[in-house]
A and B are shown apart, each in its own frame.
Chain A
Amino acid sequence: MSGVRVLVGTRKGAFILTSDGKRERWDISGPHFAGWEMYHVKGSPADPKRLYASQCSGWFGQLIQRSNDGGKTWEPVGNKFVYDGVPGTHQWYDGTPHPWEFKRVWHLEPSLNDPDTVYAGVEDAALFRTTDGGQNWEELSGLRKHGSGPHWQPGAGGMCLHTIILDPSNPNRIFIAISAAGAFRSDDAGKTWKPINQGLRSEHIPDPTAEVGHCVHHVAMHGSRPKVLFMQKHWDVMRSDDGGDSWKEVSGNLPTDFGFVIDVHAHEPETIYVVPIKSDSEHFVPDGKLRVYRSRSGGNEWEALTKGLPQSNCYVNVLRDAMAVDSLDKCGVYFGTTGGQVYASADAGDNWSPIVRDLPGVLSVEVQTLP
């Protein structure tokens, strides 16, 4: 019988939650790497037993862990992330030049067809790649050396490259997003990049329609329609139907269009999910109610999903990499909160229940659908 493996990164370790296809009873293993910040754990689509994890600490820096057995055992692999050439400067919060400094890996995106190839999105923003299972990492420096690089500025959470999307229909096409530079696309496997922010409007920057400078929080795509992208920006939920060349707002009737996560149903490419957050100064759900909003029309028309979620006295956030979907039928949806809960819905969001309630603050959630 098929099953799922949910990979949870938290501020104090990683946890692996497994269930059969019913997704009712869960085994919980962890903490793996207890005490370390686990920004992201993700499995290879080409080999589900191959997992990669970003492990970091303010004291000891960055490590990358690899598992070849689905997370039962792990081995540290290469952790040398060195910018290509002289890194130069980007802008600091006050607009002064600031040297590019590696801080941590936010996101690991394994290749769709090679378990040894993985992309890493890092802070300060850059894209790295390994082709030997994580032993060696090389910067795809065409991104950072894009002419706009010296003008990039960090968001409140740091200048992080947090989203990497590989186009399943075109191995040369990669999408990435950076807070607070915006979204970028490569059509030559990462050699060169172009900003894809036309149509974004950010009132808090000097030029609200600038080519770069937008605080993109997350981007999602359905593999069957790789030209359709959905974005949760700092404020505004956006949609592109042309691979990012242009964007239009689809916030519609959301109670607030601030938020971090966005994801797409595994089988319905027009069904998308967000978790609205009150505001950029109050990073928790509005009205003390934890509500996932679902649109079945690719945006604009949204419905609140509340069954099984706390509807009073709830003040958690859901961070940008902390939502994922499985590909079972019905589609499972999962998200983790800063309060340490991981919620699951085995029916596309109609009903929710917590898998676990009391983990450290959740930084990331990924799901593997197992044969």
Chain B
Amino acid sequence: MIRVVLPAHLRGLARVRGEVELDITGPATQRSVVDAIEARYPMLQGTIRDHVTQKRRPFLRFFACAEDLSHESPDAPLPDAVVSGVEPLLIIGAIAGG
């Protein structure tokens, strides 16, 4: 079971409170986690990554275990602590603008 913390605006859009818990079949990667989020919450399609290019939206970042994973391959394995559910995967809106 993988725990994901969504930004507040996306929690509101998906009408969830707190963390999202996902069961991932196959390798746990950024791509498979976002696939699972979009499957469960279709209204989040296009809000985390582009519909067509599948690239992470520029002002969103992926963090876990105090590391910025944003520039890793979307198909790279997530840290063991995330895969085991000890640590959450944090999807964070960059602090930008005013």
Contact = CB atoms under 8 A, between A and B. Distances in A.
Interface of A: 35-36, 57-63, 76, 79-80, 82
Interface in B21-61: 43, 45-48, 50-52, 57, 59-60
A59 B45 contact: no
Contacts of A60: 7, 9-10, 13, 47-48, 57, 60, 93
Contacts of A82: 51-52
Contact of B46 (A36, A58, A62): A62
Nearest to A58: B59
A36 B43 contact: no
Contacts of B57: 59-61
A58 B93 CA distance: 10
Contacts of B66: none
Contacts of B47: 60-61, 63, 79
Q: Kindly name the residue among B7, B10, B47, B48 whose own CB sees the greatest number of chain A CB atoms within 10 A.
A: B47
B9 A59 contact: yes
Given A80-B51, A82-B52, A63 B9 contact: no
Contact of A80 (B13, B46, B59, B60): B46
Given A59-B57, A60-B60, A61-B50, 9 more contacts: A36-B9, A58-B59, A59-B7, A60-B7, A60-B9, A62-B46, A76-B13, A79-B51, A82-B51
A35 B11 CA distance: 13
Interface residues of B, number: 19
29 contacts: A36-B9, A57-B9, A58-B97, A59-B7, A59-B9, A59-B57, A59-B59, A59-B60, A59-B93, A59-B96, A60-B7, A60-B9, A60-B10, A60-B13, A60-B47, A60-B48, A60-B60, A60-B93, A61-B46, A61-B47, A61-B50, A63-B43, A76-B43, A79-B46, A79-B47, A79-B51, A80-B45, A80-B51, A82-B51
Q: Which 4 pairs from chain A and chain B are nearest by CB?
A: A76-B43, A60-B47, A59-B59, A59-B93
A61 B52 CA distance: 13
Nearest to B51: A80
Contacts of A36: 9
A303 B9 CA distance: 45
Interface string B1-22: 0000001011001000000000
Contacts of A59: 7, 9, 57, 59-60, 93-94, 96
Nearest to A79: B46
Contacts of A57: 9
A104 to B, nearest CB: 12
Nearest to A34: B12
A79 B43 CA distance: 8
A78 to B, nearest CB: 9
Interface string B72-98: 000000000000000000000110110
A312 to B, nearest CB: 29
Contact of B96 (A58, A76, A79, A80): A58
Contacts of B51: 79-80, 82
Nearest to B50: A61
B46 A35 contact: no
Q: Kindly name the residue among B7, B45, B48 whose own CB sees the greatest number of chain A CB atoms within 10 A.
A: B45
A79 B50 CA distance: 11
Contacts of A79: 45-47, 51
A99 to B, nearest CB: 12
B97 to A, nearest CB: 7
Nearest to A60: B47
Nearest to B57: A61
